[in-house]
Amino acid sequence: MAGVNKVILLGNLGADPEVKYLEGDKVVANLSLATTEAYNDRNGNRVEQTEWHDLELWDQQAKIAEKYLKKGSQIYVEGKIKSDKWTDEQGQNRKKTKIRVLSFTMVGGRPDGMGNPNPSPPQSDTSSPSSKPTTSMSSGGGPDISLDDADDDLPF
C-alpha cells in the first residue's frame, strides 16, 4: 500500500499557461516545462538535452499560474506522475503521462515581464520585488496543503 511517487522539476515554461474553466468552478491549467541537462560527451563536446514535461494544475494553483506565469518563467515544481489510459481509434491501448503539480514556486526573475514595461534604469532590474508567487509549499515546509483545499484567496 505505502508508496511514494514524487517528481521534482526546475525549469522554464515553453509557452504561456493554457487555462480552461470547467463547469462547477473547476479550473485546470496545462504547462509545458523544459528541463535542460548539459554534459560533455566522450569526444569532449558540450551536449544539451532538453526534456519537455506536461504539467497539470488545478483550481487555485491553476489561477495562480494563469496570473503570474508565462512563456519563459522559471519554476520549481513538486508533483507526482499520473498517466491517462485509453483506447485509440485503431483499438490500440494508449497511455499519456503527465505531472500532476502539487505545489510550485517561481524562482529568480520577478514574475513580470509585462509588469515592467520600462526597465530603462539598470537598477530597476532588482528593484520592484513584486511578490513572487508560491503555492503553499514555500519552504517545502508547511503541511503542503493542496490549494484545492484552501480557501479561495490568492496567497498574496
Partner DNA sequence: TTTT
Q: Which residues bind a second copy (CB under 8 A)?
A: 1-12, 34-39, 48-53, 74, 76, 80-83, 90, 95-97, 100, 102, 105-109, 113, 116, 118-120, 122, 125-126, 131-134, 137-146, 148-149, 155
Read off the C-alpha cell for 62: 491553476
Residue 68: phi, psi to the nearest 5?
Answer: -115, -20
Residues in touch with DNA (CB under 7 A): 1, 11-15, 32, 34, 36, 38, 48, 50, 52, 71-72, 74, 110, 126, 129-132
Nearer to a second copy, 10 or 22 (CB): 10
Residue 60 has which C-alpha cell? 487555485
What is the Cα–Cα distance from 96 to 92, expressed in whole angstroms? Answer: 13
Smallest separation, CB 108 to DNA (Å): 8
Q: Where does residue 116 rank: exposed (0-12), middle (13-18), buried (19+ CB within 10 A)?
A: middle
- Residue whose CB is less far from DNA, 53 or 63: 53
Q: What gap in Å lies between CA 104 and CA 52, rounded to an integer?
A: 17
DSSP class of residue 134 equals: B
CB of 126 to DNA, least distance (A): 6
Cβ of residue 64: shortest distance to a second copy, in angstroms? 12
